[in-house]
Amino acid sequence: MSELVILGGSGLVGSDLIRLIPAGRPFLVLGRNPPPSAPSSWKPFDPIHGDLRTAAPEARVLLHLAPLPLLPGLLGRKLPPGINRIVALGSTSSRFKRDSGSGRERRIAQEQIEAEAAIAEWAERMRVAWTLLRPTLTYGARDRNITRILSFIRRFRFFPVTGGGLGLRQPLDVSDLAKGCLAVLDNPKTYGRSYDLGGGETLTYRAMVERVFAVAGRTPRIVNVPRTVARAGLRVMAHHPRWPFIDPEMADRMSADLVVDNAPAQDDFAFAPGPFRPERCLEGARSHV
């Protein structure tokens, strides 16, 4: 019987988390695209149209690693009746992008905020213990953050920044995030609470990029670009089908501090993330070149 169900196991965090699950704890992984070598603990599952009552009827604990706005649609009529614990991953975009000058980014932030509220309301009403984790800039093999910086550096041998790239960052290794997910599963201190999670090292955006240059084996060539020029360039790039994630607001965020307080997580579940290790992204960068 698999009481622990992991939804979204084929994503960035899932592979690290699955390796960390203690031996002897049965689990079931659900995802849209199980890897070809997936063991019997994997099942294909559509988080939008799927029904967890059918896919995992014996589930008691749900670890939701898929995009947070998908979870409210699964609550109630699509959840197994025995569910008594939910741990879900959100994003600090609900905090850092809610006042963005980009309508698209504000919508993303609002979707996160509304999903958080819906999950908490439903769980409290149904007396289901819930915990929400909001990671900051997350990195690892196949990530969409540091890996893209590394790929850009390898291809063009320089990297542009605005405002000197002096905004602070806390890059969070996906393995540390995975450990955090498992640490809260059976921890009553975390019930009914949300936590912002950052990495164990705080550094400027520029210093972060310099560390990526070192991993790429390149001498740092960081070019300070005027904000207006950077925004114009990003606006053009945003129309290219290869870069749907690009937004002109990225230029402004390079000089903004995007950091959180890890103290509540440290106190409640001994969250202890390590320093920034961009070498973790080397494997993923090959697929972005």
Q: What CATH number is attached to the domain comprising 223?
A: 3.90.25
Of the residues 116, 135, 154, the one at which a domain ends: 135
9 and 114 part of one domain:
yes
Cα separation, 67 vs 254, whole angstroms: 25
Mean pLDDT computed over every residue of the chain? 91
If we measure between CA atoms, which residue out of 125, 169, 183, 139 comes closest to residue 13? 139
Q: What does the buried/exposed string (b/e) look like for 185-222 if buried means 16 or more CB atoms within 10 Å of the residue's CB?
A: bebeebeebbbbbbbbbbbbbbbbbebbbebbeeebeb
Residue-wise pLDDT for 150-193, tens only, equals: 999 999 999 999 999 999 999 999 999 999 999 999 999 999 99
Question: How much is the pLDDT for 284?
Answer: 53
Of the residues 135, 158, 187, the one at which a domain ends: 135
125 and 160 part of one domain:
no
DSSP E strands: which ranges in the chain?
Answer: 4-7, 27-31, 42-44, 61-64, 85-89, 129-135, 138-139, 159-161, 168-169, 172-173, 193-197, 203-204, 222-224
154 and 284 part of one domain:
yes
105 and 7 part of one domain:
yes
The number of domains in the chain is 2
This prediction's pTM: 0.92
111 and 163 part of one domain:
no
Domain that includes residue 146, residue range: 137-172+199-259+274-289
With respect to residue 118, please indicate whether it lies within any of the assigned structural domains.
yes
With respect to residue 145, please indicate whether it lies within any of the assigned structural domains.
yes
64 and 94 part of one domain:
yes
126 and 229 part of one domain:
no
Beta bridge partners of 87: 63, 131
The more confidently predicted of residues 164 and 144 is: 164
CATH number at residue 68: 3.40.50.720
18 and 129 part of one domain:
yes
With respect to residue 179, please indicate whether it lies within any of the assigned structural domains.
no
Contacts of 49 (CB under 8 A, 6+ apart): none
